[in-house]
Amino acid sequence: MTNKAPNMTAQVLRLEPGDEIALKYLGAAVVLQWHSLPDDLRRSLVQQAVSVGGLPALEHLHDQIKQLVARARD
């Protein structure tokens, strides 16, 4: 079985009312499991995060992700 590289082109996530809460829970679960994820999956998740369209742009998103994961590990 061959692993295909995920599509990292900009994609828009259309949120409906209440989705922000589900995203927070899902995001928190990913952060809490971050260090148990394979390195290639971690890289893919960060690459996908920075290519999501339709959400407020964050200038230093990659750095913020690293800081969040580090805080969760402590």
Q: 23-54 pLDDT, tens per residue?
A: 999 999 999 999 999 999 999 999 888 888 77
The model's pLDDT over 18-27, given as tens digits with 9 standing for 90+, comes to: 999 999 999 9
In a domain, 30, yes or no: no
Contact indicator for 50, 62 with CB cutoff of 8 Å: yes
- 49: in domain: yes
- 14 part of a folded domain: no
Is residue 21 domain-resident? no
Global pTM reads 0.75
The parent domain of residue 71 ranges over: 38-74
**In this structure, is residue 8 part of a structural domain?**
no
Counted domains in the chain: 1
- Identify which of 31, 70, 72, 22 has the alpha carbon closest to the alpha carbon of residue 49: 31
- Residue 28 falls within a domain, yes or no? no
